[in-house]
């Protein structure tokens, strides 16, 4: 072979090597194919984050067809489409995730995650979005990215006390309600996940009876910093000022069961008052809650302080987050106050077998449910004849027949002792 021929072959080899190993990430080995990219740390992290925070609207594969999309007044972006991929730079995708839709003149329903996720996590999402589009463009991730999430410290006791004093002194003023309504309905991303007045998504709790369900100080504290209480909650940090949080609280508290239609969803008030009038023994209530051989045996399904089952909602700070009335309603008539995400799904298989439980996820292979014993089941799509979400709680509905009035009052007293101040003793 001549020298010229050898050099030509060498040049071809160099070009092939360069194309195969062109850098995709600043601190990662280079990859070239989608199969190889799937091994990337960034891509793996991005996929997990996407499924947790984004897929309910954008769909598992980025087609804009998540289960929540049908409830929104604006269609989520089809992230996998070539049109979307070609018109947006990596930096622009980063910006809309970081700052939210409103800041880039898009829908306010797209929340900002800049105060929720780390820089590395947001760039991981950018990487996964590119992957959904076929990965035709490189993602050159900046160097020295922060891997630490924003500091989501607790709301101080003095701040909570200030709120309580202002709320007690001012009550629910019309100007505050109006300001809160504007924030919830038009400026913040609340309706992307929450239903209110027949508008909004179905990811988070229905807010139509928020004044009945939640105490004012809990709403205020939660919306200022949800990540403090639940680091991996789907709800993003809203970047609210105390004044904005107070306005939203006033607006949400105004939603009370004050008409016949709303009141019909609640148990008879006289029945509620029968239990509320009794002084409960919190220590005895704790024993009833935790007794594995007892009639109540609440710990079989509910977690408190890392102990208990996973079938029902976590109750570690339910004394702060829920009113006495709501907790009582949940005990004596659980199917009327089902916490979002805990509806029962009934599956009929092609062999006419019924499977009942709480739906926790789904993918292209089937449904994932947790049965009444806390066992996770995977039900393949090819064996399912039909499935239906039922407005029935997995929690037994006959406790008021099985337990005495005093028993229920005692359990209620115990639940009200479960406050976030007990699990955050360092908060000043």
Q: What is the pLDDT of residue 300?
A: 87
Q: What is the pLDDT of residue 76?
A: 95
Same domain, 67 and 216: no
Q: What does the block give as tokens for 84?
A: 């979307």
Decide if 234 is inside a domain. yes
Looking at 260, 276, 309, which one is the last position of a domain?
260
Q: What is the pLDDT of residue 314?
A: 80
Contacts of residue 169, defined as CB under 8 A and 6 or more positions apart, other chains included, come to none
Same domain, 307 and 377: no
CB 187 within 8 A of CB 102: yes
Looking at 207, 225, 260, which one is the last position of a domain?
260
CB 141 within 8 A of CB 26: yes
Same domain, 293 and 416: yes
CATH, residue 369: 2.30.30.100
Looking at 260, 289, 319, which one is the last position of a domain?
260
| Predicted confidence (pLDDT) per residue in 213-254, tens digit | 788 888 888 899 998 878 888 999 999 998 999 999 999 988
Same domain, 83 and 231: no
Decide if 28 is inside a domain. yes
Decide if 9 is inside a domain. no
Same domain, 290 and 407: yes
Same domain, 172 and 213: yes
Q: What is the pLDDT of residue 257?
A: 59
CB 262 within 8 A of CB 390: no
Q: What does the block give as tokens for 151?
A: 């500091």
Same domain, 310 and 169: no
Decide if 12 is inside a domain. no
Decide if 225 is inside a domain. yes
Task: Taking the CA atoms of 376, 377, 378 and 381 in sequence, report the sign of the dihedral they define.
Answer: negative
3-state secondary structure labels for all residues of 145-204: CCCCCCCCCCCCHHHHHHHHHHHHHHCCCHHHHHHHHHHHHHHCCHHHCCCECCECCCCC
Rounded to 5 degrees, what are φ and ψ at 383?
-105, -5
To which residue do tokens 């990811």 refer? 203
Decide if 240 is inside a domain. yes
Q: Find the domain containing 285 and state its range.
A: 266-338+397-423
Q: How far apart are the C-alpha atoms of 192 and 72, rounded to whole Å?
A: 7
Decide if 199 is inside a domain. yes
Which of 316, 306, 298 lies closest to 394 in space, CA to CA?
A: 298
Decide if 147 is inside a domain. no
Q: What is the pLDDT of residue 34?
A: 40
Number of domains in the chain: 4
Q: How far apart are the C-alpha atoms of 58 and 356, rounded to whole Å?
A: 28
Q: What is the pLDDT of residue 400?
A: 85
DSSP state at residue 71: G
Same domain, 199 and 303: no
Same domain, 113 and 27: yes
CATH, residue 234: 1.10.760.10
Q: What is the pLDDT of residue 7?
A: 54
Residues of the chain with pLDDT under 70: 1-40, 135-140, 168-172, 256-269, 337, 340-341, 420-428
Same domain, 106 and 207: no
Q: How far apart are the first and last CA of the chain?
A: 80
Stated pTM of the model: 0.65
Same domain, 102 and 190: no
Same domain, 321 and 365: no
Centroid of chain to Cα 384: 27
The Cβ-side half-sphere exposure at 347, using a 13 Å CA radius, reads: 22
């Amino acid at each position: 072979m001549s020298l010229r021929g050898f050099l030509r072959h060498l040049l071809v080899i160099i070009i092939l090597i360069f194309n195969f190993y062109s850098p995709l990430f600043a601190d990662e080995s280079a990859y070239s194919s989608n199969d190889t990219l799937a091994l990337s740390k960034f891509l793996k992290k991005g996929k997990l984050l996407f499924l947790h925070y984004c897929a309910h609207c954008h769909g598992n594969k980025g087609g804009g067809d998540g289960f929540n999309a049908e409830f929104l007044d604006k269609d989520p972006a089809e992230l996998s489409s070539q049109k979307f991929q070609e018109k947006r730079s990596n930096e622009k995708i980063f910006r809309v995730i970081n700052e939210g839709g409103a800041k880039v003149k898009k829908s306010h329903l797209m929340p900002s995650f800049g105060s929720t996720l780390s820089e590395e996590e947001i760039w991981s999402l950018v990487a996964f979005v590119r992957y959904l589009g076929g990965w035709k463009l490189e993602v050159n991730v900046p160097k020295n990215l922060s891997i630490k999430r924003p500091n989501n410290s607790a709301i101080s006791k003095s701040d909570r006390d200030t709120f309580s004093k202002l709320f007690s002194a001012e009550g629910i003023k019309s100007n505050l309600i109006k300001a809160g309504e504007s924030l919830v309905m038009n400026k913040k991303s609340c309706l992307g996940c929450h239903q209110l007045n027949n508008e909004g998504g179905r990811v988070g709790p229905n807010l139509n009876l928020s004044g009945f369900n939640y105490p004012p100080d809990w709403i205020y504290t939660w919306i200022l910093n949800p990540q403090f209480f639940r680091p991996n909650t789907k709800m993003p940090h809203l970047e609210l000022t105390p004044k904005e949080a107070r306005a939203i609280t006033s607006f949400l508290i105004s939603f009370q069961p004050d008409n016949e239609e709303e009141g019909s969803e609640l148990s008879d008030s006289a029945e509620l008052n029968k239990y509320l009038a009794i002084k409960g023994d919190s220590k005895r209530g704790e024993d009833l809650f935790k007794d594995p051989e007892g009639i109540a045996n609440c710990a079989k399904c509910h977690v408190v302080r890392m102990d208990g089952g996973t079938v029902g909602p976590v109750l570690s700070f339910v004394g702060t987050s829920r009113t006495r009335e709501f907790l009582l309603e949940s005990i004596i008539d659980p199917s009327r106050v089902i916490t979002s995400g805990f509806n029962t799904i009934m599956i009929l298989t092609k062999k006419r077998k019924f499977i009942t439980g709480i739906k926790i996820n789904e993918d292209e292979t089937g449904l994932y449910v947790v049965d009444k014993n806390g066992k996770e089941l995977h039900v393949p799509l090819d064996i399912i004849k039909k499935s239906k979400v039922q407005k029935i709680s997995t929690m037994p509905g006959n406790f008021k027949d099985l337990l005495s009035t005093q028993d229920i009052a005692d359990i209620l007293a115990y639940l009200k002792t479960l406050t976030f101040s007990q699990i955050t003793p360092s908060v000043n």
